[in-house]
Chains A and B, each alone.
Chain A
Amino acid sequence: MGKLNEKQRLRGRGGGALFLCLLGGGGVYWANGLVEDETAAIAAKQGEIKAAEAKIAKIPNAEREVIVLRENLSEYVRILPNGQELEEFINVIWEFERQSGVSIGMFKPGAKSRQAKNSKFSSVVYQFELTATIWQTMRFMNLLENHERFIKVNALQLKSGGKKRPGDQSRSGDEIVHDIKLTVETFVYDGAGAGKEVLVPNYANKRDALSEEIFKRQQKIRMDKYDFKGDLGRRDIFVDPRLEPGEERGDLPLEEQKRLLDNYIGIVQGLRDLFRRAKDPETIVLEQYRFLKSLKEGLAIAAPEIKDIEERGLISYVVYDSQWKKDVRQPLLELQERIADSSAAGAAAVDPWLDADEFEGVIAQMEDDLSNGDLAEAKGLFEGVRDKIAVPADDERFALRVRLEGLYKRTAVAIEFSKKTLDIQGVMVNEAGLSGVLLNGTVYEEGEYIDEDLFVRTVSSEQVAFVYQGFVLIKTW
């Protein structure tokens, strides 16, 4: 092989160097590829870390939600169970039948059916045929609608009946029994079960801290309910209220019944008005006493009369009868209950006694009544406030109490004295000595006893003063 000339050597070395440079450059390219891969992998993982951190930041809220929901799960399952639970449902229906008084003639459960393709729940339809009064029907429906498990009345068909319950002697149209067809629907949850419960660290403490929220959420999920209060004296609108010939059966004519009804509606309304005014905080004690006194007197007259009218069945027309129950009997009962309640509430009050001004007012009024000879008024006034004066001996109002009780004693003695037969037939006034009085046919001198606790104190031409049970009492003419 010939010797390489310079040019060839130059080319050879240059070529070698170029090869090595290309090799090194390829290595750099390859290594850069690895760097890029690694950078991308790191970036991807950092993205995952960010996503994980975002999730971790949401853990407290998620825990809170899960705890609140889990604690209320039993409530949700009661409303919307996982299964049809037919036997349980039948037991409930039987209990409702007993409570409401309806008579179930037919009960037919249907098959479970999905509400919609993607629906999370299915429904089960039940059909009933029953006989019941309107109030029994409503009570039964109300029990169903208020039941803890969600029950929906889908259809109701009521055919007005003309027959009364066997053995029912009531003449009231309210007792007419109707034929009812009822379709109700319950629901079953088809969603996935919650599976195994996720273990939340420190669950008990977190649950306790959320107790208020748990309760609030429980209230929120509660289904609408309705409080059915019964007939409230109303008539059954599914009964023809018109009278049948001869149905009046010797009772009062309709015009008389209407007059009686209107009269007692007015009386009861007046009594309610008295109660309202007596309980008005703006009303002063003396007025309260007067209103309550009038109310009690009115009640004492009206209540037996109302009872008598009901016992005699004077309001026989069903329309008037329902109004009687609603506007006379019911308000009267409520009034009596409220009077009883207010007495109990008064007894339980923190300071149930009259204040000093009220004491003074009652004392002044009693003194006024006594000086006017209105003994019954004074006695009634005291008795009206008797429950409100029993302040203890260490109370600054005790002296007023003693004064008031003294006035009452005086009133009671005066009333007792007034019942004594003291027929003054004449007086003999003796300026120089003892005067005398001709009483019940007997002459008594000043200082002389008429009986063991009554004696003649002084006699003048216009009046005779007696001392009775330690009190001076004057008779004038």
Chain B
Amino acid sequence: MMIRINLLPEEFRRTEGTSPKIFAAVIGAVIAVSATFGWFGMVYFGDLSELQAEHQQVTENLTRKSQGAKYFDDLEKQRKDYSERVTTIQTIGTSRRLWTEFLDQAIDVTSNNTDLERHLTWFSGLTIREDNNPKKGPTVSMPGAVQGREIAKVANLHKDIAAAPFFVDVKAKSPPTGKVEFDKSKSPEESFGFNLTLEFRPASDWVKNGGPKPQGKKK
């Protein structure tokens, strides 16, 4: 390799120009830096500013609509308060049996249009009991007697009871049993004493509440 040496004094030497490499590098660097800062500017002053303006608008819109939403929330709260009372009334209402109606129907059935051949029935008492347990229905117990000594008349009474309107809600009825009793102070002396018990279905299974619900299989 040949070495060239410039022997001229320094002040007479030709000034060295920027090398093309450096020049190219500087140009590239300037472009890169400008592009980077330009991008930043676009994002910061362009997109972000637009979004901030949009955010401001959306916030104002939300503020306006929130008033309507709050009004709805207040209405809804009030509706819920009112509805709870209604629901409560419906809940307790469905669990009530009108015992006057039951007694009226029981009297109709027992009076039996005075068909004495069928049965002449009277009761010595009545006990109606309702538990607070919603799974249990009320129970009715009526000790009584039919005139004469034929158990067939007790069976007739039971048939009439089973045909009474209230019976659709009865889950179980005592069988027609009893025993002959004598009371010399009455004419005729014989009667066939019995104790009629009726077990009603739970209120949720009454016909007015949709009738008995199908039992789900237990796993």
Please report A residues at the B interface, Cβ cutoff 8 Å.
6, 9-10, 13-14, 16-18, 20-21, 23-25, 27-28, 31-32, 34-35, 38-39, 41-42, 45-46, 48-49, 51-53, 55-56, 58-59, 62-63, 65-66, 69-70, 73, 76-77, 79-80, 115, 120-121, 134, 138, 141-142, 145, 150, 152-160, 187, 189, 191-195, 197-198, 200, 221, 223-226, 228, 234-235, 237-245, 247, 319-320, 322-323, 326-327
Contact = CB atoms under 8 A, between A and B. Distances in A.
Interface residues of B, number: 90
Contacts of B107: 134, 234, 237
B150 interface: no
Nearest to B66: A52
B86 A243 contact: no
Given A24-B37, A52-B62, A76-B85, A152 B121 contact: no
A107 B57 CA distance: 70
A335 B77 CA distance: 58
A158 B183 CA distance: 22
Contacts, number: 273
Contacts of A156: 99, 126-128
B187 A120 contact: no
A31 B85 contact: no
Interface stretch (B1-9, B45-53, B171-179, B211-219): B45-53
A322 B111 CA distance: 9
B65 A52 contact: yes
Nearest to A217: B86
A150 B92 contact: yes
A45 to B, nearest CB: 5
Contacts of B59: 45
Contact of A79 (B48, B89, B126, B127): B89
Contact of B113 (A13, A27, A323): A323
A17 B29 CA distance: 5
Contact of B22 (A10, A32, A141): A10
B86 to A, nearest CB: 6
Contact of B78 (A10, A197, A245): A197
Contacts of B72: 55-56, 58-59, 62
Given A51-B69, A56-B69, A73-B85, 16 more contacts: A13-B26, A13-B29, A14-B25, A17-B25, A21-B32, A27-B37, A31-B40, A53-B65, A70-B82, A142-B100, A189-B85, A191-B84, A192-B81, A194-B78, A234-B108, A240-B122
B96 interface: yes
A39 B81 contact: no
B62 A228 contact: no
A207 to B, nearest CB: 15
B20 to A, nearest CB: 10
A80 B65 contact: no
22 contacts: A9-B22, A20-B29, A31-B40, A49-B58, A76-B85, A76-B86, A115-B132, A138-B103, A150-B92, A152-B92, A152-B130, A154-B130, A155-B127, A155-B129, A157-B126, A195-B81, A225-B98, A234-B107, A239-B122, A241-B122, A323-B113, A326-B111
B89 A228 contact: no
Contacts of B99: 141, 145, 153, 156
A248 to B, nearest CB: 9
A45 B86 contact: no
Nearest to B103: A138
Q: Closest 7 CB pairs between A and B?
A: A17-B29, A24-B36, A69-B82, A52-B65, A52-B69, A27-B40, A55-B72
A245 B185 contact: yes
Interface in B68-86: 68-69, 71-79, 81-86
A17 B30 contact: yes
A3 to B, nearest CB: 10
Interface string B97-116: 01111011011101101101
Contacts of A27: 36-37, 40, 44
Nearest to B145: A240
Interface of B: 19, 21-22, 25-26, 28-30, 32-33, 35-37, 39-40, 43-44, 47-48, 51-52, 54-55, 58-59, 61-62, 65-66, 68-69, 71-79, 81-90, 92-93, 95-96, 98-101, 103-104, 106-108, 110-111, 113-114, 116, 120-130, 132, 144-145, 147, 183, 185-188, 191, 208
B51 A226 contact: no
Nearest to B100: A142
A145 B79 contact: no
Given A56-B65, A120-B88, A237-B111, A242 B128 contact: no
Contacts of B75: 59, 62-63, 65-66, 198, 200
Contacts of A191: 81, 84-85, 88
A454 B78 CA distance: 94
A419 to B, nearest CB: 49
B120 A319 contact: yes
A289 to B, nearest CB: 34
Nearest to A186: B92
Given A191-B88, A194-B81, A52 B68 contact: yes
Contacts of B36: 20-21, 23-25, 27-28
A245 to B, nearest CB: 6
A423 B107 CA distance: 67
B92 A66 contact: no
A80 B81 CA distance: 14
B100 A141 contact: yes
A255 to B, nearest CB: 12
Given A13-B22, A223-B96, A242 B188 contact: yes
Given A6-B21, A226-B100, A238 B126 contact: yes
Contacts of B65: 49, 52-53, 56
Contacts of A49: 58, 61-62, 65
A156 B96 CA distance: 14
B124 A238 contact: yes
B149 to A, nearest CB: 13
A80 B126 contact: no
A165 B44 CA distance: 102
